[in-house]
């Protein structure tokens, strides 16, 4: 999901303006900041961190996810 605002306000420069990729359930290196162009390619391609050995899938195990939604907060399952 591409975010352009948070809490009804445009993203600030420190928050990834103009667009920020949010990838819930994935490790932070999959969350891109400062997106100003999108390029479509015809096949798989490794990203910056994956070229240095990071896992391409980057899925955060459920037991490591914490989302607070009040007193009865439960992890979100994907």
Which residues are CB-contacts of 11 (< 8 A; sequence separation ≥ 6)? 3, 4, 5, 17, 18, 19, 20
Give CA–CA dist 33/3, Å, rounded. 10
Give the tens place of pLDDT for each residue, 2-32. 999 988 899 999 989 999 998 888 888 999 9
Give the tens place of pLDDT for each residue, 37-66. 999 999 988 989 999 999 998 988 877 766
């Amino acid at each position: 999901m591409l975010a352009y605002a948070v809490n009804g306000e445009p993203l600030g420069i420190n928050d990834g303006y103009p667009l920020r990729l949010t990838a819930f359930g994935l490790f932070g290196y999959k969350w891109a900041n400062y997106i100003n162009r999108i390029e479509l390619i015809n096949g798989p391609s490794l990203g910056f961190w994956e070229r240095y050995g990071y896992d391409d899938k980057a899925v955060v195990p459920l037991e490591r996810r914490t989302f607070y939604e009040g007193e009865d907060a439960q992890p979100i399952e994907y």
